[in-house]
Amino acid sequence: MKEKPILNIKIGQVIRNRRKMLGMTIEKLAAESRVNEKHLGDIERGLATIKYPTLLKIEKGLGYKKPGHLSNDEEILKLYEKLFEHVKDNDKEEK
């Protein structure tokens, strides 16, 4: 079984925590962000590597106006910056 990258796990936790803090169900966030519900669940559990466009959709669904503001926690923000670099690199590789 493939090990889940720590970055996927951390970002998934941040998304889930923010969603729950807002009192949103996964179904509502999926609808608001226009992301498939199963895929969103996989992201929250750290099972899927999130791509940059999807990340932006989820942030919008969570009510953020600017990318990179899922948490005020400094450690998470540092991880988040790494994620942006990682997903941008993944997007480039796929093209």
Question: Residue 87: its pLDDT value, please?
Answer: 60
pLDDT at 43: 95
pLDDT at 56 (0 to 100): 83
pLDDT for 91: 55
Domain boundaries, the chain: 6-94
Q: Residue 89: what pLDDT?
A: 61
pLDDT score, position 36: 96
Nearest to 63 by CA among 18, 20, 25: 18
The CATH homologous superfamily to which domain 6-94 belongs is lambda repressor-like DNA-binding domains (1.10.260.40)
The ranges of the chain with pLDDT < 70 are 1-4, 67-95
Q: In Å, how far are 29, 75, 78, 90 from 72, measured between CA atoms?
A: 20, 9, 10, 25
Structure confidence at residue 51 (pLDDT):
83
What is the pLDDT at residue 93?
Answer: 53
Rounded distance, CA 61 to CA 59, Å?
Answer: 5
Distances (CA, A) of 93 to 13, 42, 87, 88, 89: 26, 22, 10, 9, 6
